[in-house]
């Protein structure tokens, strides 16, 4: 399905905002709910569903790719990220996700 001009402009505005708030070296809550640091930022307007950023978890060091447009990435401050890492180390990753993101955040649907 082709996007209209208005839809393309809206998507581009969102992408520009997301790049400013979730740029290289910034700390974000990735789509796996881990506080993570952005290690790579890229965008190909022709591949909307592709990953737009690569992140590295501050909890366990795992790397993953997220879409700025579809994953709902949340910018975090260093203090928020450090608090979440400390909570995860003390109580476990699942408890951290439940506490900061809600009890059903990491649960897949039927």
> How far is Cα 67 from Cα 44, in angstroms, rounded to an integer?
11
Specify the pLDDT at position 28: 92
pLDDT (tens digit, 0 to 9) for every residue of the chain, 110 residues total?
Answer: 677 888 878 877 877 777 777 788 999 999 889 999 999 887 665 555 556 788 999 999 999 988 877 777 889 999 999 999 999 999 999 899 999 988 766 555 44
Domain ranges across the chain: 5-76
> How far is Cα 9 from Cα 6, in angstroms, rounded to an integer?
5
Q: Tell me how far CA of residue 106 lies from CA of 60, 93, 95, in angstroms.
A: 16, 10, 11
CATH number of 5-76: 2.30.30
Largest alpha-carbon pair distance within the chain? 49
**Total-model pTM:** 0.75
> How far is Cα 6 from Cα 11, in angstroms, rounded to an integer?
9
């Amino acid at each position: 399905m082709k996007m209209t001009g208005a839809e393309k402009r809206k998507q581009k505005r969102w992408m520009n905002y997301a790049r400013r708030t979730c740029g290289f070296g910034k700390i974000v809550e990735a789509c796996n709910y881990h506080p993570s640091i952005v290690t790579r930022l890229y965008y190909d307007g022709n591949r909307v569903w592709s990953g737009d950023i690569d992140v590295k978890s501050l909890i366990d060091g795992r790397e993953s790719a997220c879409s700025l447009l579809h994953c709902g990435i949340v910018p975090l401050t260093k203090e928020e990220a450090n608090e979440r890492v400390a909570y995860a180390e003390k109580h476990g990753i699942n408890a951290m996700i439940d506490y900061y993101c809600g009890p059903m955040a990491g649960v897949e649907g039927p």
